[in-house]
């Protein structure tokens, strides 16, 4: 699964689970939100938690799944404010910043391509050093289509000039990678361990990345 860096001029990178530890998001949606919801409405957490999980799963893969405004309306709580309560859990994955610096030094165009909405991006940027490294920051909310949908990629190409046959895209979602593959992104990689608190168990037909350093090691032909 070697990368032909001589034929890659654009690198598209996901945010949550790729450049950032997915532990923050998993903990927020699966634990913190149900706890705070139960407290706010004086309900039993044991009853509320599975109900919230079911409501979340029902929207999985859709644009609304990634919209903090939508979930604020659905749950009657300020989702961004609740996320801010645990913002100390927002962290870059190991070697993420080194990866961005290395790619920039090699003259690659860098695009952050995320399903997160602008409010979530702003929160993540306020806690990390990601923002300064990108040529473009793209939220699927800008286009009205999630990355899982083919329309997203057509919209991206119409707004930003890049050659899909000379692009590398790294994401932690197999559904998103499949969508990018169908569109024609030539080089695709998945993240082996998106959440640092969970086992490295990701399997992908596109090849997985254990460490960003592996992308530039001599034995990988770079």
User: Distance between CA 142 and CA 145 in Å, rounded?
Assistant: 8
Question: Comparing C-alpha atoms, which of 28, 135, 146, 132 is closest to residue 90?
Answer: 28
* Lookup: tokens for 55: 């409501």
- pLDDT of 16 reads 98
pLDDT digits (tens, 9 = 90+) for 107-152: 999 999 999 999 999 999 999 999 999 999 999 999 999 999 999 9
The domain segmentation of the chain, as residue ranges, is 5-21+91-220, 24-88
- pLDDT of 220 reads 44
Residue in the structure block whose two tokens are 């644009």: 63
- pLDDT of 1 reads 57
3-class DSSP state for residue 97?
Answer: helix
pLDDT tens over the chain, length 222 residues:
578 899 999 999 999 999 999 999 999 999 999 999 999 999 999 999 999 999 999 999 899 999 999 999 999 999 999 999 999 999 999 999 999 999 999 999 999 999 999 999 999 999 999 999 999 999 999 999 999 999 999 999 999 999 999 999 999 999 999 999 999 999 999 999 999 998 776 678 888 999 998 887 644 434
User: Distance between CA 63 and CA 60 in Å, rounded?
Assistant: 8
Question: Comparing C-alpha atoms, which of 140, 136, 216, 128 is closest to residue 179?
Answer: 140
pTM of this prediction? 0.94
- pLDDT of 200 reads 72
CA torsion angle 142 158 62 114 (round to 10): -60
- pLDDT of 217 reads 61
- pLDDT of 30 reads 96
The fold of the 5-21+91-220 domain, in CATH, is Rossmann fold (3.40.50)
* Lookup: tokens for 194: 């998106």
């Amino acid at each position: 699964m070697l990368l032909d860096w001589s034929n890659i001029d654009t690198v598209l990178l996901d945010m949550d689970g790729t450049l950032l530890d997915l532990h923050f998001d998993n903990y927020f949606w699966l634990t913190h939100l149900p706890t705070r919801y139960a407290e706010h409405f004086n309900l039993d957490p044991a009853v509320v938690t599975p109900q919230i999980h079911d409501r979340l799963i029902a929207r999985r893969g859709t644009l609304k799944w990634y919209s903090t405004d939508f979930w604020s309306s659905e749950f009657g709580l300020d989702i961004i404010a609740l996320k801010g309560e645990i913002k100390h859990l927002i962290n870059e994955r190991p070697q993420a910043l080194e990866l961005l610096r290395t790619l920039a030094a090699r003259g690659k165009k860098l695009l952050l391509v995320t399903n997160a909405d602008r409010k979530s991006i702003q929160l993540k940027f306020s806690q990390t050093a990601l923002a300064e490294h990108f040529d473009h920051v793209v939220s699927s909310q800008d286009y009205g289509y999630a990355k899982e949908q083919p329309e997203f990629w057509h919209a991206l190409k119409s707004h930003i000039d890049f050659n899909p046959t000379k692009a590398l895209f790294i994401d932690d979602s197999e559904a998103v990678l499949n969508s990018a593959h169908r569109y024609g992104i030539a080089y695709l990689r998945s993240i082996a361990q998106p959440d640092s608190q969970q086992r490295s168990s990701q399997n992908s037909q596109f090849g997985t990345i254990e460490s960003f350093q592996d992308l530039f090691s001599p034995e990988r032909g770079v």
